[in-house]
Structure 1
Amino acid sequence: MKLKKLKLWHKVILGLILGVLIGLYLPGYAVKLQFIGDVFMKAIKVVVGPLVFFSLVMGVTSATDTESLGRVGIKAVVAFLVTTTFAVIFGLATGIIFEPGKNVSLVTEGPAVIIDSNSCPIESNKKFCIIQFLSDIVPASLTQAMLDGNVLQIVFVAIFTGVAINKLGRDPKIQREIKKVKDFFIAGNRVLMRMISMVVEFSPYAACALIATMVGEKGLDPLIGVSKLIFAVAIAMVLQYIVFGFMIKYIAKLSPLPFYKKSLEYQAVAFATSSSKASLGKTMEVCREKLGISEPSTSFLLPLGTSINMDGLAINLGITAIFFAQSFGMVLTFQDYMVIILTATLGSMGGAGIPSASLIMTPLVLSSANIPLDGIAILFGIDRILDMMRTVINITGDATITLLIDASEKTLDTEKYYEESKDE
């Protein structure tokens, strides 16, 4: 098969395999490839902030009425909150069943390892502050939110802007001007979608460079040392993936097979880059053009999900909490489990858009249940692998909820959903 005939996700997988081989057998050269991955991630960051902003504004302004927008928004927030909460519970259950921390000693001599507070927006020795979380949603300026890559703040300003445009659109005196504003956001969104599509085409090379750098620096030893934890996370992610299929089957009344088959494209990008942002453009393209999800739902719900829905991170936090508790021989109480569920749910939502969010949120969850932080540095060696799995579940969860809500609104094109893709 000619290389140019391969699909993007095929190329990404090949890039990952090649990256592992380079990291193992040419570690000196592998480290030098890091700049390729850095350039790719910077290019993503340049586009993704404006893309989220333009897509959400377009999604809000394309709603036929405020009532419809509010109904869809409420459905989305409730669905994201419920799935995230159950993802944490799922993670806890998997950790209890597989016992990844049993017979693992994390006790260290000297002071416990704490993540540098300068790299953490929330001090690791404090409980999650819901008031501060809500306050931080409102940015000091849109420009600063864009520069910081704070997706949640960008979402807030975008929805605010879209609602304001809709209200102005009711005035017959300025409807023509408002129409031009809406057209501007539609055109801008198309340009940004094209830009991010061009960047994503480079993802196989970035995947190769990122994996080669990780393996070249650390080898495969980090994976062997905590293989049970990685295995437990992988099992939980697979089960969550199956749950998505059941949701599509019994809530939307659709066969999940087309969803699974067509989702491979954006999942490969998510797996390779460990970034929901990097895969957002491809996810929107697949949802709109292959899964039959309407333009308003795609433009509004997917960016929103990317900012608050982190099922993969929620699962990871739940399992990690059990892993550390088991390694220290702790017996958690019902109250401890409730605290972990609450902090992991809020922490996963607050961690959206933060690089290596699990490394920042894990101390938060552990300290909330009084679990020692000794040995937490072990997560640094395997976080890249876990992050790849987390991101696939995160973005797949976003697409699943978007599909379900679009189906409930009777705007899903079921013929396109079942239609075979031309490139398959």
Structure 2
Amino acid sequence: MKLWHKVFLGLILGVIFGVYTPQHVETIKPIGTVFLRLIKMVIVPLLFFSLVSGITGMRDPNSIGRVARKAVMAYLGTTCLAVTFGLGVAYILQPGAGVVLDMGQVAEKNFKENNFDLLEFFIEIVPNNVFQAFADSNILQVVFFSIFTGIIINGMDSSADPLRNFIHSAAKLVLKMIALVVQLSPYAAFALTAWVIGTQGLDIIYTLGKLVQAIILAFILQYLIYGLIIFVFCRISPIPFYKKSIEYQMIAMSTGSSKASLATTMQVCKNRMGVSESSTSFVLPLGASINMNGLSIKLGLSVIFFAQAMGVDLALSDYIVIILTGTLGSIGGAGIPGSFIIMLPIMLTSVGLPIEGVALLVGIDRILDLLSTTINITGDATITLVIDSSEGTLDKEMYNS
């Protein structure tokens, strides 16, 4: 039985266990907790060594800069598109219509008074103490240091070859470690799903039904757009991509972590889709660090939901603020546990809505997070495939096989 089959079976059994024996879910929750701790244990080493290995594998400085520019622009573009999809679906379906909420007074809209400081956001990417950044798992700071390290190593002469060899070997070591940990994902899927259902019940899925339906529809549209992007920019059918993506998608859905499925995604991209090793090692980890399309959709849709429920008419300028804040905020929320609950108050504040509404979404976020993570990692793989194709290094024969 394939791993994703086992993961899917774990999800189903978890739902059944949570529904019929909720009194025992706390007993099995440690299984999922240990699994997540194992994943967190290797996340930072995986990102660091994968990124440095990918950069040092591209010895041409022009190539590094070109690929990095393409990747960052592509990730920003799909994230902005995701927020816009969320707003569009919310505008059409009106998930907040008919819902009456009194969550407090609507404030005057003033973007300058927001908690989100764009300049401070970029300053904070540069770590004061690299060891502290690693200890705190500050993903963006680790990414900055990894890219900085890779570029410096590439600027050195042949004396750095032993260091390059060490980096490549360490990257393979960490991939082996996380591949072993991922074999435990079916058991974690069972334990975590059972715990969520057992503690909050199936009613959690129906509590905010219209909002959930709208978010899921936006997820589906974003998922289909990935196929369109592959068709337009790579001139190949997206069907093989969808078929071969199931394995890492099931792991992402069961764990709710893009990082947990990163190693499997890298293996699928390199060994089954024909993506080059340099793109797999550089573009994909970068995407897992900054690309949060699913989070962007949830943020944009939830803000509109609360505005509709509170009878607040948003102006065009408000929608622009939501798109900008959602795009940058989702990047800032990358790698932060419960980032949706952390970033949503910033989004609500940006258009003058009270943040008390966040409490209503805490219950359903865990369920939606499993789906949004799947969208996130699929977007990472899509952009990696597109970038590799644009560089002329995609093995299309392997992709179509």
TM-score by length of 1: 0.91
Name the counterpart of 2:130: 142
Aligned-pair Cα RMSD in Å: 1.3
Q: Is residue 242 of structure 1 aligned with residue 230 of structure 2?
A: no
- After superposition, where does 1:25-424 map in structure 2 within 5 Å? 25-108=20-103, 126-169=114-157, 175=158, 177-419=159-401
Native 8 Å contact 1:107 1:374 kept in 2: no
In 1: Cα distance, 2:373 partner to 2:174 partner: 22
2:59–2:154 Cα contact (<8 Å) kept: no
After the TM superposition, list the runs of 4 or more consecutive aligned residues in structure 1 that deviate by more than 4 angstroms. Answer: none
Give the 3-state SS of the residue equivalent to 2:115 in structure 1.
coil
CA contact (8 A) 1:31 1:212 kept: no
AA matched with 1:16: L
Q: Distance in 2 between matches of 1:65 and 1:386?
A: 42
2: distance between equivalents of 1:276 and 1:150?
15
Shift of 1:12: 0.8
Displacement after TM superposition at 1:139 (Å): 1.7
- Counterpart of 2:31 in structure 1: which amino acid? I
Q: How many angstroms does 1:145 deviate by?
A: 1.8
Query: Which deviates further from its counterpart, 270-279 or 215-224?
Result: 215-224
Q: Which digits, 9 at most, give the CA deviation of each residue in 1:348-394, with x for residues without a partner?
A: 01000001111011110011001222332111110011101110011
2:357 aligned counterpart, secondary structure: coil
Alpha-carbon distance between aligned partners in 1 of 2:229 and 2:377, rounded to the nearest angstrom: 15
- Within 1, Cα distance between the matches of 2:328 and 2:357? 24
Offset of residue 222 of structure 1: 2.1
Corresponding residue pairs, total:
395
Hey, what's the Cα distance between the residues in 2 that align with 1:162 and 1:368? 37
Letter in 2 for 1:316: K
Native 8 Å contact 2:10 2:190 kept in 1: yes
- Kindly state the Cα deviation for residue 111 of structure 1 after the two structures are TM-superposed: 9.4
Unaligned runs of 5+ in 2: 107-112
Equivalent AA in structure 1 for residue 345 of structure 2: P
Aligned residue for 1:377, secondary structure, equals: helix
In the alignment, the residues of structure 1 paired with residue 130 and residue 282 of structure 2 have an alpha-carbon distance, to the nearest angstrom, of 18
Per the TM alignment, residue 307 of structure 1 is displaced from its structure 2 partner at its CA by 1.1
Distance in 2, matches of 1:227 and 1:84, equals 25
Residue identity in the other structure for 1:33: I
Aligned residue in 1 for 2:109: none
SS in 2 for 1:278: coil
SS at match of 1:263: helix
Distance in 2 of aligned mates of 1:232 and 1:111? 26
Tell me the amino acid that sits aligned with residue 40 of structure 2.
Answer: K
Answer whether contact 1:99 1:323 (CA < 8 A) is retained: yes
Task: Give distance in 2, aligned partners of 1:267 and 1:380.
Answer: 24
Instruction: Tell me the SS of whatever aligns to 1:371.
Output: coil
Give the secondary-structure state (helix, strand or coil) at the position aligned to 2:234: coil
Paired position in structure 2 for 1:422: none
Matched AA of 2:140: L
Alpha-carbon distance, 1:221 to partner: 1.8
| Percent of residue pairs identical | 52
Contact 1:106 1:374 in 2 (8 A): no
Letter in 1 for 2:39: I
Determine the C-alpha separation between the residues in 1 that align with 2:398 and 2:141: 34
Give 3-state SS (helix, strand or coil) of 2:356's partner: coil
Displacement of 1:277: 0.8
Q: CA deviation at 1:37?
A: 1.0
Counterpart secondary structure, 2:155: helix
